[in-house]
Amino acid sequence: MKRPGKSDEAGSILHSTSPIRLFNQFFEAILQVNSRETVRQSFEPAEIQNAQTAMARPLLGIVAWQALPAIFPDAGKNIGGAETGLWTLARALAAQADVHVALAVAASRSGYPHQKNGVELWISVDRFAKTRRFVSDHVDFSPKLRLKRFHPSLLYKMPWLLITRPLRNRDPLAMVPDPRLLGRCPAVWAGFGVTADTARMVATAIEQGKPSILFIQSNSDLDERLASGQSFVSQWGDPSEDRLFAIRNSTSIVCQTRHQLNLLKQRFEREGELIRNPIDVHEWKLPKQNTDRYVLWIARYDSFHKRPLMMIQAASKCPTIRFKMVINPGEREVEDQVMRQKPPNVEILSHVPFERMPNLFAGAGMFVSTGDPGCEGFPNVLLQAGASHTPIVSLNDFDGFLQASGAGVDCGGDCDKLPTRILSQWKAPMIDWREVDAYLAQNHDLTQVARRVAELVQQLKTPTAC
Q: What is the pLDDT of residue 412?
A: 94
Q: What is the pLDDT of residue 33?
A: 38
Q: Quick one: average pLDDT of 13-20?
A: 40
Domain residue limits, the chain? 58-126+169-274, 282-443
**CATH class of residue range 58-126+169-274:** alpha beta
In the CATH scheme, what is the homologous superfamily, with its name and number, of domain 282-443? Glycogen Phosphorylase B; (3.40.50.2000)
Contact in structure between 194 and 247 (CB atoms under 8 Å): yes
Report helix, strand or coil for 381. Answer: helix
Q: How far apart are CA 164 and CA 254, in angstroms?
A: 40
Closest-CA residue to 119 (of 97, 98, 93): 93
CA 325 to chain CA centroid, Å, is 20
**pLDDT mean across residues, the chain:** 85
Range in 107-111, 366-370, 442-446 the model is least confident about: 107-111
Q: What is the pLDDT of residue 56?
A: 65
Q: How far apart are CA 408 and CA 12, in angstroms?
A: 68
Q: What is the pLDDT of residue 155?
A: 83
Q: Label residue 52 by pLDDT band (50, 70, 90).
A: very low
- Please report which residue ranges of 269-379 form alpha helices under DSSP H: 308-316, 332-341, 357-362
Q: For the chain, how big is the Rg over CA atoms in Å?
A: 24
Of the chain, the percentage scoring pLDDT greater than 90 comes to: 63
Look up the pTM and report it: 0.81
With left for phi above 0 and alpha for psi between -120 and 50, is residue 348 left, alpha or beta? beta
Contact in structure between 190 and 93 (CB atoms under 8 Å): no
Q: What is the pLDDT of residue 134?
A: 75
pLDDT tens, position by position, 79-115: 777 888 999 999 999 998 889 999 999 998 999 999 9
Q: What is the pLDDT of residue 465?
A: 75
| pLDDT higher at 162 or 260 | 260
Q: What is the pLDDT of residue 354?
A: 86
Q: What is the pLDDT of residue 142?
A: 64
For helices 81-94 and 446-460, the axis angle rounded to 10 degrees is 70
Q: What is the pLDDT of residue 461?
A: 92
Q: What is the pLDDT of residue 1?
A: 38
Q: What phi, psi does 385 have (nearest 5°)?
A: -65, -45
Of the chain, the percentage scoring pLDDT greater than 70 comes to: 86
Residue 195 CB contacts under 8 Å (≥ 6 apart), including other chains: 234, 236, 238, 242, 243, 246
Q: Label residue 259 by pLDDT band (50, 70, 90).
A: very high
pLDDT tens, position by position, 68-82: 999 998 887 767 778
With left for phi above 0 and alpha for psi between -120 and 50, is residue 76 left, alpha or beta? left
Q: Please give the C-alpha separations between residue 436 and each of 70, 166, 382, 389, 431, in angstroms, as whole numbers.
A: 27, 56, 11, 8, 8
Give the sign of the dihedral formed by CA 282, CA 286, CA 287, CA 293.
Answer: negative
What is the helix (H) or strand (E) element at residue 6, kind and residue range? helix 6-14
Residue 395 CB contacts under 8 Å (≥ 6 apart), including other chains: 310, 369, 370, 371, 410, 411, 413, 414, 415, 418
User: Residue 227, exposed/middle/buried by CB under 10 A (0-12, 13-18, 19+)?
Assistant: middle
Q: Quick one: average pLDDT of 225-249?
A: 93
Judged against a pLDDT cut of 80, whether residue 25 lies above it is answered with no
Q: Quick one: average pLDDT of 321-347?
A: 93
Contact in structure between 275 and 449 (CB atoms under 8 Å): yes
Range in 148-152, 226-230, 318-322 the model is least confident about: 148-152
Give the strands of the sheet with 408-410, arranged side by side.
346-349, 323-328, 294-300, 364-369, 392-394, 408-410
Judged against a pLDDT cut of 90, whether residue 51 lies above it is answered with no
Task: Judge whether 58-126+169-274 and 282-443 match in fold.
Answer: yes
Q: Quick one: average pLDDT of 184-211?
A: 97
